[in-house]
Amino acid sequence: MIFCSLYSGSSGNSIFVGNGNTNILVDAGMAGKHLDSAIKEINQNPEEVDAIFITHEHIDHIKGAGVMSRKYDIPIYANERTWIAMENKVGKIKDHNIKIINDKHITIKDMDIINYNIPHDAACPVGYTMISGNKRASIATDLGCFTSEVKENIKDSEVILLESNHDTEMLKFGPYPYDLKKRILSNVGHLSNEACGNALLEVLKNGCKKIVLGHLSETNNHPDLAYETVAGVLRENGVILGKEVDLAMAHRGKPSNYIEF
The predicted-structure confidence for 73-110, as pLDDT tens digits, reads as follows 999 999 999 999 999 999 999 999 999 999 999 999 99
Dump strand ranges (E) for the chain: 2-7, 14-18, 23-26, 51-53, 76-79, 98-101, 105-108, 111-117, 126-132, 135-140, 159-163, 210-214, 246-249, 256-260
pLDDT at 138: 98
**Per-residue pLDDT at 206:** 78
Give the whole-angstrom CA distance, residue 13 versus residue 192: 18
Provide the β-strand partners of residue 64. none
* CATH number attached to the domain at 2-260: 3.60.15.10
CA distances from 189 to 14, 118, 154, 163, 185 (A): 19, 10, 19, 11, 6
Cβ distance 103 to 92 under 8 Å? Answer: no
Give me the helix-helix angle, 65-72 and 32-41, nearest 10°: 70
DSSP conformational letter for 166? B
- pTM value is 0.97
pLDDT at 247 over 90: yes
Please report the pLDDT score of residue 47 as a whole number.
98
Provide mean pLDDT across the span 182-200: 98
Give the contacts of 57 (CB within 8 A, at least 6 positions apart). Answer: 78, 82, 85, 86, 89, 122, 123
Amino acid (one-letter) located at 5: S
- The mean per-residue pLDDT over the stretch 124-128 comes to 98
Q: Is residue 221 pLDDT above 80, yes or no?
A: yes
Mean pLDDT of 188-196: 98
Cα Rg, the chain, nearest whole Å: 17
Assess whether pLDDT exceeds 80 at residue 207.
no
